[in-house]
Structure 1
Amino acid sequence: MNTTPNIHAMIVAAGRGSRFGAAIAKQYTKINGQTLLQHSVTRLASSGYIDHCYLVIAADDEVASTLTYTLPMNYVVGGAERWQSVRAGVSAILGSGADKSDLVLIHDAARPAVPTEDIDSVITAAMSEPYGAILAAPVADTLKLSTALPAKQLDDHNDHCTNDNDYIKTTVNRQHMWQAQTPQVFRVGELSHLLDYINEHQLHITDEASAFEYLELPIRLVTGSRQNIKLTFPDDAIVLAAILTAQVSSR
Protein backbone atom coordinates (compact mmCIF):
# COMPACT_ATOMS: atom_id res chain seq x y z
CA MET A 1 0.00 0.00 0.00
CA ASN A 2 1.35 3.38 -1.04
CA THR A 3 1.34 5.60 2.08
CA THR A 4 2.62 8.67 0.19
CA PRO A 5 0.16 8.76 -2.71
CA ASN A 6 -0.67 11.62 -5.03
CA ILE A 7 -3.87 13.44 -4.11
CA HIS A 8 -6.46 14.16 -6.80
CA ALA A 9 -9.21 16.53 -5.66
CA MET A 10 -12.68 16.30 -7.17
CA ILE A 11 -15.66 18.58 -6.65
CA VAL A 12 -19.04 17.24 -7.65
CA ALA A 13 -21.19 20.06 -9.06
CA ALA A 14 -23.45 18.35 -11.59
CA GLY A 15 -26.61 18.42 -9.46
CA ARG A 16 -29.48 20.90 -9.50
CA GLY A 17 -30.10 21.10 -5.76
CA SER A 18 -33.88 20.74 -6.06
CA ARG A 19 -34.45 20.96 -2.29
CA PHE A 20 -32.85 24.40 -2.27
CA GLY A 21 -35.64 25.66 -4.51
CA ALA A 22 -33.71 28.32 -6.44
CA ALA A 23 -33.82 29.07 -10.16
CA ILE A 24 -30.08 28.45 -10.50
CA ALA A 25 -28.06 25.42 -9.46
CA LYS A 26 -27.22 25.93 -5.80
CA GLN A 27 -23.44 25.70 -6.32
CA TYR A 28 -23.73 29.08 -8.06
CA THR A 29 -25.50 30.74 -5.15
CA LYS A 30 -23.39 33.69 -4.03
CA ILE A 31 -22.41 34.18 -0.40
CA ASN A 32 -20.14 37.03 0.62
CA GLY A 33 -19.45 37.92 -3.01
CA GLN A 34 -18.47 34.50 -4.36
CA THR A 35 -20.30 31.37 -5.44
CA LEU A 36 -20.38 28.34 -3.18
CA LEU A 37 -18.29 26.53 -5.78
CA GLN A 38 -15.54 29.15 -5.69
CA HIS A 39 -15.50 29.13 -1.88
CA SER A 40 -15.21 25.33 -1.89
CA VAL A 41 -12.33 25.33 -4.38
CA THR A 42 -10.52 27.95 -2.29
CA ARG A 43 -10.89 25.73 0.77
CA LEU A 44 -9.32 22.80 -1.03
CA ALA A 45 -6.53 25.06 -2.29
CA SER A 46 -5.72 25.98 1.32
CA SER A 47 -4.48 22.43 1.93
CA GLY A 48 -0.84 21.80 1.17
CA TYR A 49 -1.81 18.36 -0.14
CA ILE A 50 -3.91 19.68 -3.03
CA ASP A 51 -2.60 21.39 -6.18
CA HIS A 52 -5.23 20.58 -8.82
CA CYS A 53 -8.93 19.78 -9.06
CA TYR A 54 -11.37 17.86 -11.25
CA LEU A 55 -14.72 19.64 -11.51
CA VAL A 56 -17.64 17.41 -12.47
CA ILE A 57 -20.46 19.45 -14.03
CA ALA A 58 -23.70 18.91 -15.92
CA ALA A 59 -23.51 18.60 -19.72
CA ASP A 60 -25.45 21.85 -20.17
CA ASP A 61 -23.54 23.85 -17.55
CA GLU A 62 -22.57 27.23 -19.00
CA VAL A 63 -21.46 28.88 -15.76
CA ALA A 64 -18.56 26.85 -14.35
CA SER A 65 -16.04 27.73 -17.04
CA THR A 66 -16.76 31.47 -16.71
CA LEU A 67 -15.63 31.61 -13.08
CA THR A 68 -12.11 32.05 -11.73
CA TYR A 69 -10.63 29.52 -9.32
CA THR A 70 -7.69 29.21 -6.96
CA LEU A 71 -6.71 25.80 -8.38
CA PRO A 72 -6.02 24.56 -11.93
CA MET A 73 -9.27 22.98 -13.09
CA ASN A 74 -10.02 19.90 -15.21
CA TYR A 75 -13.65 19.76 -16.37
CA VAL A 76 -15.56 16.47 -16.53
CA VAL A 77 -19.17 15.94 -17.62
CA GLY A 78 -21.18 14.11 -14.97
CA GLY A 79 -24.23 11.89 -15.04
CA ALA A 80 -27.82 11.92 -13.84
CA GLU A 81 -26.98 10.47 -10.41
CA ARG A 82 -24.23 11.58 -8.06
CA TRP A 83 -22.43 8.23 -8.21
CA GLN A 84 -22.40 8.44 -12.00
CA SER A 85 -20.76 11.86 -11.79
CA VAL A 86 -18.15 10.55 -9.37
CA ARG A 87 -17.54 7.57 -11.64
CA ALA A 88 -16.92 9.94 -14.56
CA GLY A 89 -14.45 11.91 -12.45
CA VAL A 90 -12.64 8.78 -11.30
CA SER A 91 -12.39 7.58 -14.90
CA ALA A 92 -10.84 10.92 -15.89
CA ILE A 93 -8.33 10.71 -13.04
CA LEU A 94 -7.25 7.20 -13.98
CA GLY A 95 -7.17 8.24 -17.63
CA SER A 96 -4.70 10.99 -16.78
CA GLY A 97 -2.19 8.36 -15.60
CA ALA A 98 -2.96 8.23 -11.88
CA ASP A 99 -1.78 5.19 -9.96
CA LYS A 100 -4.54 3.01 -8.54
CA SER A 101 -3.11 3.51 -5.05
CA ASP A 102 -3.39 7.30 -5.36
CA LEU A 103 -6.09 9.04 -3.35
CA VAL A 104 -9.12 10.83 -4.74
CA LEU A 105 -10.63 13.47 -2.46
CA ILE A 106 -14.30 14.10 -3.21
CA HIS A 107 -15.95 17.27 -1.95
CA ASP A 108 -19.41 18.77 -2.33
CA ALA A 109 -19.55 22.18 -3.98
CA ALA A 110 -22.22 23.07 -1.42
CA ARG A 111 -19.86 22.69 1.58
CA PRO A 112 -17.84 25.94 1.34
CA ALA A 113 -16.82 26.23 5.00
CA VAL A 114 -14.83 23.05 5.63
CA PRO A 115 -11.80 24.00 7.77
CA THR A 116 -8.35 23.43 6.26
CA GLU A 117 -7.29 21.32 9.24
CA ASP A 118 -10.21 18.95 8.60
CA ILE A 119 -9.17 18.52 4.97
CA ASP A 120 -5.64 17.70 6.07
CA SER A 121 -6.86 15.35 8.81
CA VAL A 122 -9.00 13.21 6.52
CA ILE A 123 -6.24 13.01 3.91
CA THR A 124 -3.71 11.96 6.53
CA ALA A 125 -6.08 9.31 7.86
CA ALA A 126 -6.78 7.94 4.37
CA MET A 127 -3.06 7.60 3.67
CA SER A 128 -2.82 4.87 6.31
CA GLU A 129 -5.97 3.03 5.21
CA PRO A 130 -6.36 0.41 2.47
CA TYR A 131 -9.66 1.90 1.28
CA GLY A 132 -10.18 5.39 2.66
CA ALA A 133 -11.62 7.76 5.24
CA ILE A 134 -14.40 10.34 5.47
CA LEU A 135 -15.17 13.38 7.57
CA ALA A 136 -18.22 12.97 9.80
CA ALA A 137 -19.76 14.53 12.89
CA PRO A 138 -21.19 12.54 15.81
CA VAL A 139 -24.95 13.06 16.05
CA ALA A 140 -25.68 15.44 18.91
CA ASP A 141 -29.45 15.88 18.70
CA THR A 142 -32.12 13.49 19.89
CA LEU A 143 -33.32 11.39 16.95
CA LYS A 144 -36.96 10.45 16.43
CA LEU A 145 -38.25 7.71 14.13
CA SER A 146 -41.56 8.73 12.59
CA THR A 147 -44.63 6.77 11.66
CA ALA A 148 -48.01 7.49 10.06
CA LEU A 149 -51.18 7.16 12.10
CA PRO A 150 -53.54 4.33 11.13
CA ALA A 151 -56.35 5.55 8.85
CA LYS A 152 -59.12 5.44 11.49
CA GLN A 153 -56.99 7.15 14.09
CA LEU A 154 -55.91 9.75 11.51
CA ASP A 155 -59.57 10.52 10.63
CA ASP A 156 -60.38 11.11 14.31
CA HIS A 157 -57.25 13.20 14.75
CA ASN A 158 -57.98 15.40 11.72
CA ASP A 159 -61.25 16.46 13.28
CA HIS A 160 -59.12 18.54 15.62
CA CYS A 161 -56.10 19.69 13.58
CA THR A 162 -54.42 19.48 10.20
CA ASN A 163 -50.79 18.39 10.08
CA ASP A 164 -48.53 16.24 7.93
CA ASN A 165 -49.14 12.60 8.69
CA ASP A 166 -45.87 12.05 10.58
CA TYR A 167 -45.81 11.23 14.26
CA ILE A 168 -43.20 9.96 16.68
CA LYS A 169 -42.84 6.20 16.80
CA THR A 170 -39.75 5.94 18.96
CA THR A 171 -36.51 7.63 19.97
CA VAL A 172 -33.44 6.32 18.15
CA ASN A 173 -30.31 5.60 20.17
CA ARG A 174 -27.77 8.08 18.77
CA GLN A 175 -24.74 6.26 20.19
CA HIS A 176 -22.46 5.32 17.28
CA MET A 177 -24.53 7.53 14.93
CA TRP A 178 -22.62 9.92 12.66
CA GLN A 179 -23.57 12.54 10.08
CA ALA A 180 -21.46 12.03 6.97
CA GLN A 181 -19.67 15.07 5.56
CA THR A 182 -17.21 15.69 2.76
CA PRO A 183 -14.39 15.54 1.83
CA GLN A 184 -14.41 11.78 1.49
CA VAL A 185 -11.05 10.31 0.48
CA PHE A 186 -10.50 6.90 -1.15
CA ARG A 187 -7.92 4.84 -3.01
CA VAL A 188 -8.83 5.68 -6.57
CA GLY A 189 -8.50 2.13 -7.88
CA GLU A 190 -10.68 0.70 -5.11
CA LEU A 191 -13.33 3.36 -5.64
CA SER A 192 -13.35 2.72 -9.39
CA HIS A 193 -13.90 -1.00 -8.76
CA LEU A 194 -16.72 -0.32 -6.29
CA LEU A 195 -18.51 2.10 -8.62
CA ASP A 196 -18.36 -0.49 -11.39
CA TYR A 197 -19.97 -2.91 -8.92
CA ILE A 198 -22.71 -0.40 -8.10
CA ASN A 199 -23.37 0.08 -11.81
CA GLU A 200 -23.42 -3.63 -12.58
CA HIS A 201 -25.85 -4.45 -9.77
CA GLN A 202 -27.94 -1.26 -10.09
CA LEU A 203 -27.57 -0.42 -6.41
CA HIS A 204 -28.54 2.86 -4.74
CA ILE A 205 -25.95 4.86 -2.82
CA THR A 206 -26.17 8.30 -1.23
CA ASP A 207 -22.44 8.88 -0.87
CA GLU A 208 -19.23 7.18 -1.99
CA ALA A 209 -18.67 5.49 1.37
CA SER A 210 -21.98 3.65 0.82
CA ALA A 211 -20.38 1.75 -2.05
CA PHE A 212 -17.78 0.29 0.30
CA GLU A 213 -20.48 -0.56 2.85
CA TYR A 214 -22.14 -2.92 0.38
CA LEU A 215 -19.05 -5.14 0.44
CA GLU A 216 -18.36 -4.51 4.16
CA LEU A 217 -15.05 -2.82 3.43
CA PRO A 218 -13.82 -0.61 6.30
CA ILE A 219 -13.86 3.16 5.82
CA ARG A 220 -12.43 5.22 8.68
CA LEU A 221 -14.46 7.97 10.34
CA VAL A 222 -12.60 11.22 11.05
CA THR A 223 -14.33 13.72 13.32
CA GLY A 224 -15.09 16.90 11.40
CA SER A 225 -16.09 20.40 12.44
CA ARG A 226 -19.74 21.39 12.78
CA GLN A 227 -18.85 24.44 10.71
CA ASN A 228 -18.76 22.14 7.69
CA ILE A 229 -22.47 22.40 6.90
CA LYS A 230 -24.03 21.84 3.50
CA LEU A 231 -26.29 24.33 1.76
CA THR A 232 -29.49 22.34 1.37
CA PHE A 233 -32.33 24.68 2.33
CA PRO A 234 -32.58 28.49 1.96
CA ASP A 235 -32.06 29.11 5.69
CA ASP A 236 -28.67 27.39 5.44
CA ALA A 237 -27.34 30.35 3.43
CA ILE A 238 -27.74 32.64 6.46
CA VAL A 239 -25.77 30.27 8.68
CA LEU A 240 -23.06 29.74 6.07
CA ALA A 241 -22.61 33.48 5.54
CA ALA A 242 -22.04 33.91 9.28
CA ILE A 243 -19.59 31.00 9.44
CA LEU A 244 -17.58 32.20 6.44
CA THR A 245 -17.41 35.73 7.85
CA ALA A 246 -16.27 34.46 11.25
CA GLN A 247 -13.64 32.22 9.66
CA VAL A 248 -12.17 35.14 7.71
CA SER A 249 -12.11 37.29 10.85
CA SER A 250 -10.24 34.61 12.83
CA ARG A 251 -7.39 34.22 10.35
Structure 2
Amino acid sequence: MYLTRFRVNTARADARRLLGSPHRVHGAVNASFPTPPSRDGSGPRVLWRVDRNGTSETLLYIVSPGRPDLTHLVEQAGWPASDEPGWTTFAYTDFLTALHPGDTWGFRLTANPVHNIRHEHVKEGERTKRAAHQSPRHQMDWLLKREEGAGFEVVRKPEERRLLPEGDVHELIVRDQTPLQFRRASETTRGNSDVQITKVTFDGRLRVTDPELFRRTLTHGLGKAKAYGCGLMTLAPVLGKGEA
Protein backbone atom coordinates (compact mmCIF):
# COMPACT_ATOMS: atom_id res chain seq x y z
CA MET A 1 0.00 0.00 0.00
CA TYR A 2 1.07 3.57 -0.71
CA LEU A 3 0.07 7.01 0.53
CA THR A 4 0.68 9.84 -1.95
CA ARG A 5 0.47 13.61 -1.50
CA PHE A 6 0.21 15.97 -4.49
CA ARG A 7 0.13 19.77 -4.23
CA VAL A 8 -2.29 21.38 -6.68
CA ASN A 9 -1.34 24.65 -8.40
CA THR A 10 -4.66 26.46 -8.10
CA ALA A 11 -3.30 29.43 -10.06
CA ARG A 12 -3.72 27.35 -13.22
CA ALA A 13 -7.06 27.35 -15.00
CA ASP A 14 -6.77 23.63 -15.78
CA ALA A 15 -6.28 22.89 -12.09
CA ARG A 16 -9.38 24.88 -11.13
CA ARG A 17 -11.39 23.11 -13.82
CA LEU A 18 -10.16 19.74 -12.54
CA LEU A 19 -11.10 20.54 -8.94
CA GLY A 20 -14.52 21.74 -10.05
CA SER A 21 -15.66 18.18 -10.79
CA PRO A 22 -15.05 15.11 -8.61
CA HIS A 23 -15.73 13.06 -11.74
CA ARG A 24 -12.69 14.64 -13.46
CA VAL A 25 -10.49 14.09 -10.40
CA HIS A 26 -11.66 10.47 -10.26
CA GLY A 27 -10.59 10.00 -13.88
CA ALA A 28 -7.23 11.69 -13.32
CA VAL A 29 -6.51 9.54 -10.25
CA ASN A 30 -7.41 6.33 -12.11
CA ALA A 31 -5.11 7.38 -14.96
CA SER A 32 -2.21 7.25 -12.48
CA PHE A 33 -2.17 3.44 -12.67
CA PRO A 34 -1.54 1.24 -15.72
CA THR A 35 -4.13 -1.20 -14.40
CA PRO A 36 -6.49 0.26 -11.76
CA PRO A 37 -7.25 -2.15 -8.91
CA SER A 38 -10.54 -4.02 -9.01
CA ARG A 39 -13.54 -2.36 -7.36
CA ASP A 40 -15.37 -5.63 -6.67
CA GLY A 41 -14.58 -5.45 -2.95
CA SER A 42 -12.06 -8.30 -3.03
CA GLY A 43 -9.13 -6.10 -2.03
CA PRO A 44 -7.96 -2.58 -1.20
CA ARG A 45 -9.14 0.12 -3.58
CA VAL A 46 -7.86 3.49 -4.71
CA LEU A 47 -9.09 6.23 -2.37
CA TRP A 48 -8.53 9.96 -2.75
CA ARG A 49 -9.34 13.23 -1.01
CA VAL A 50 -8.76 16.92 -1.67
CA ASP A 51 -7.82 19.08 1.34
CA ARG A 52 -8.04 22.85 1.03
CA ASN A 53 -5.93 24.27 3.83
CA GLY A 54 -7.04 27.89 3.78
CA THR A 55 -6.16 29.90 0.69
CA SER A 56 -2.51 28.91 0.52
CA GLU A 57 -2.46 25.18 -0.13
CA THR A 58 -4.60 22.56 -1.84
CA LEU A 59 -3.46 18.94 -1.49
CA LEU A 60 -4.62 15.76 -3.18
CA TYR A 61 -4.13 12.61 -1.10
CA ILE A 62 -4.27 9.14 -2.64
CA VAL A 63 -4.14 5.76 -0.90
CA SER A 64 -3.58 2.88 -3.32
CA PRO A 65 -2.34 -0.72 -3.54
CA GLY A 66 0.16 0.28 -6.26
CA ARG A 67 2.54 3.22 -6.62
CA PRO A 68 0.95 5.96 -8.76
CA ASP A 69 2.58 8.00 -11.52
CA LEU A 70 1.21 11.55 -11.38
CA THR A 71 3.22 12.99 -14.28
CA HIS A 72 0.00 13.88 -16.13
CA LEU A 73 -1.31 15.73 -13.06
CA VAL A 74 1.91 17.73 -12.75
CA GLU A 75 1.49 18.77 -16.39
CA GLN A 76 -2.17 19.66 -15.93
CA ALA A 77 -2.40 20.97 -12.39
CA GLY A 78 1.09 21.30 -10.92
CA TRP A 79 4.38 23.05 -11.64
CA PRO A 80 5.82 21.18 -14.66
CA ALA A 81 8.89 23.45 -14.96
CA SER A 82 9.87 23.06 -11.31
CA ASP A 83 12.92 21.07 -10.23
CA GLU A 84 10.79 19.43 -7.53
CA PRO A 85 9.09 16.13 -8.43
CA GLY A 86 5.55 17.42 -7.82
CA TRP A 87 4.34 14.64 -5.53
CA THR A 88 5.55 12.48 -2.67
CA THR A 89 4.71 8.80 -2.20
CA PHE A 90 5.21 7.00 1.10
CA ALA A 91 5.28 3.25 1.76
CA TYR A 92 2.13 2.66 3.81
CA THR A 93 2.19 -1.07 4.54
CA ASP A 94 4.68 -0.94 7.43
CA PHE A 95 2.66 1.81 9.09
CA LEU A 96 -0.55 -0.18 8.77
CA THR A 97 1.09 -3.32 10.13
CA ALA A 98 2.36 -1.44 13.20
CA LEU A 99 -1.13 -0.37 14.36
CA HIS A 100 -2.10 -1.85 17.74
CA PRO A 101 -5.14 -1.78 20.04
CA GLY A 102 -5.14 1.34 22.20
CA ASP A 103 -3.11 3.47 19.76
CA THR A 104 -4.44 7.03 19.72
CA TRP A 105 -4.31 9.24 16.62
CA GLY A 106 -5.61 12.48 15.31
CA PHE A 107 -7.64 11.86 12.18
CA ARG A 108 -9.27 13.54 9.24
CA LEU A 109 -12.04 11.91 7.24
CA THR A 110 -14.01 13.27 4.32
CA ALA A 111 -17.18 11.24 3.93
CA ASN A 112 -20.68 11.25 2.45
CA PRO A 113 -23.00 10.73 5.47
CA VAL A 114 -26.32 9.47 4.12
CA HIS A 115 -29.40 7.65 5.33
CA ASN A 116 -32.35 5.96 3.68
CA ILE A 117 -35.75 7.62 3.85
CA ARG A 118 -39.18 6.35 2.90
CA HIS A 119 -41.87 8.80 1.82
CA GLU A 120 -45.32 8.45 3.35
CA HIS A 121 -46.90 7.16 0.13
CA VAL A 122 -44.26 4.44 -0.32
CA LYS A 123 -45.40 1.02 0.84
CA GLU A 124 -43.42 -1.13 3.26
CA GLY A 125 -40.78 -3.16 1.44
CA GLU A 126 -40.57 -0.80 -1.53
CA ARG A 127 -37.41 1.00 -2.48
CA THR A 128 -36.31 3.89 -0.26
CA LYS A 129 -34.43 7.04 -1.26
CA ARG A 130 -30.93 7.89 -0.13
CA ALA A 131 -30.59 11.36 1.41
CA ALA A 132 -27.71 13.29 2.94
CA HIS A 133 -27.56 14.13 6.62
CA GLN A 134 -27.67 17.93 6.84
CA SER A 135 -26.97 18.87 10.47
CA PRO A 136 -23.57 18.45 12.16
CA ARG A 137 -25.21 16.46 14.97
CA HIS A 138 -26.68 13.90 12.59
CA GLN A 139 -23.43 13.79 10.60
CA MET A 140 -21.47 13.05 13.77
CA ASP A 141 -24.01 10.39 14.78
CA TRP A 142 -23.53 8.78 11.36
CA LEU A 143 -19.81 8.40 12.06
CA LEU A 144 -20.21 7.30 15.67
CA LYS A 145 -22.57 4.51 14.63
CA ARG A 146 -19.81 3.07 12.41
CA GLU A 147 -17.03 3.04 15.01
CA GLU A 148 -17.28 -0.58 16.12
CA GLY A 149 -17.46 -2.04 12.62
CA ALA A 150 -14.58 0.18 11.48
CA GLY A 151 -12.18 -0.86 14.26
CA PHE A 152 -11.89 2.40 16.21
CA GLU A 153 -13.64 4.62 18.74
CA VAL A 154 -13.68 8.40 18.81
CA VAL A 155 -12.06 9.60 22.04
CA ARG A 156 -14.42 11.04 24.64
CA LYS A 157 -13.75 14.40 26.27
CA PRO A 158 -13.31 14.70 30.03
CA GLU A 159 -16.43 16.21 31.57
CA GLU A 160 -14.64 19.44 32.49
CA ARG A 161 -13.92 20.10 28.79
CA ARG A 162 -17.50 19.65 27.60
CA LEU A 163 -18.86 23.08 26.75
CA LEU A 164 -22.45 22.05 26.02
CA PRO A 165 -24.93 20.08 28.14
CA GLU A 166 -25.34 17.55 25.30
CA GLY A 167 -23.75 16.78 21.94
CA ASP A 168 -20.24 17.73 23.08
CA VAL A 169 -19.05 14.35 24.34
CA HIS A 170 -16.43 13.39 21.74
CA GLU A 171 -13.17 14.80 20.37
CA LEU A 172 -14.86 15.39 17.04
CA ILE A 173 -15.82 18.37 14.91
CA VAL A 174 -17.36 18.87 11.49
CA ARG A 175 -14.81 21.09 9.80
CA ASP A 176 -16.48 21.51 6.44
CA GLN A 177 -19.68 20.64 4.62
CA THR A 178 -19.85 20.95 0.84
CA PRO A 179 -22.91 20.09 -1.27
CA LEU A 180 -21.80 19.14 -4.78
CA GLN A 181 -23.63 18.65 -8.04
CA PHE A 182 -21.76 17.59 -11.17
CA ARG A 183 -22.17 15.61 -14.35
CA ARG A 184 -20.57 12.34 -15.25
CA ALA A 185 -20.52 10.28 -18.41
CA SER A 186 -22.91 7.37 -17.94
CA GLU A 187 -21.38 3.92 -18.34
CA THR A 188 -24.73 2.24 -19.07
CA THR A 189 -26.61 4.83 -21.12
CA ARG A 190 -25.67 7.41 -23.69
CA GLY A 191 -25.02 10.96 -22.56
CA ASN A 192 -24.41 12.32 -19.07
CA SER A 193 -26.08 11.96 -15.70
CA ASP A 194 -26.24 14.27 -12.70
CA VAL A 195 -24.60 13.32 -9.41
CA GLN A 196 -25.41 15.05 -6.12
CA ILE A 197 -23.47 14.36 -2.94
CA THR A 198 -22.69 16.18 0.28
CA LYS A 199 -19.07 15.95 1.36
CA VAL A 200 -18.38 16.39 5.07
CA THR A 201 -14.92 16.62 6.61
CA PHE A 202 -14.46 15.39 10.17
CA ASP A 203 -11.46 16.21 12.37
CA GLY A 204 -10.98 14.42 15.66
CA ARG A 205 -9.09 11.93 17.80
CA LEU A 206 -9.59 8.18 17.77
CA ARG A 207 -8.41 5.08 19.55
CA VAL A 208 -7.77 1.83 17.69
CA THR A 209 -9.95 -1.01 19.00
CA ASP A 210 -9.52 -3.69 16.31
CA PRO A 211 -6.39 -3.26 14.17
CA GLU A 212 -7.54 -5.66 11.46
CA LEU A 213 -10.86 -3.90 10.97
CA PHE A 214 -9.15 -0.51 11.20
CA ARG A 215 -6.63 -1.42 8.48
CA ARG A 216 -9.56 -2.34 6.25
CA THR A 217 -11.15 1.05 6.96
CA LEU A 218 -7.94 2.84 5.99
CA THR A 219 -7.50 0.85 2.76
CA HIS A 220 -11.12 0.24 1.65
CA GLY A 221 -12.68 3.51 2.78
CA LEU A 222 -15.69 4.41 4.91
CA GLY A 223 -19.15 5.18 3.58
CA LYS A 224 -20.48 5.93 0.09
CA ALA A 225 -19.19 7.96 -2.88
CA LYS A 226 -15.61 6.69 -2.64
CA ALA A 227 -15.05 7.32 -6.34
CA TYR A 228 -15.76 11.00 -5.76
CA GLY A 229 -13.33 11.87 -3.00
CA CYS A 230 -15.12 10.41 0.04
CA GLY A 231 -14.14 7.63 2.43
CA LEU A 232 -10.42 8.31 2.90
CA MET A 233 -9.25 8.64 6.51
CA THR A 234 -5.72 9.86 7.27
CA LEU A 235 -3.97 9.86 10.65
CA ALA A 236 -1.60 12.23 12.44
CA PRO A 237 0.32 11.82 15.72
CA VAL A 238 -1.04 13.38 18.89
CA LEU A 239 0.97 14.60 21.86
CA GLY A 240 -0.39 12.12 24.36
CA LYS A 241 -2.73 9.21 24.77
CA GLY A 242 -5.84 8.92 26.85
CA GLU A 243 -8.81 11.27 27.03
CA ALA A 244 -7.15 14.48 28.17
Higher helix share: 1
Q: TM class by shorter-chain length?
A: under 0.3
TM-score (norm 1): 0.27
Higher strand share: 2
TM-score (norm 2): 0.27
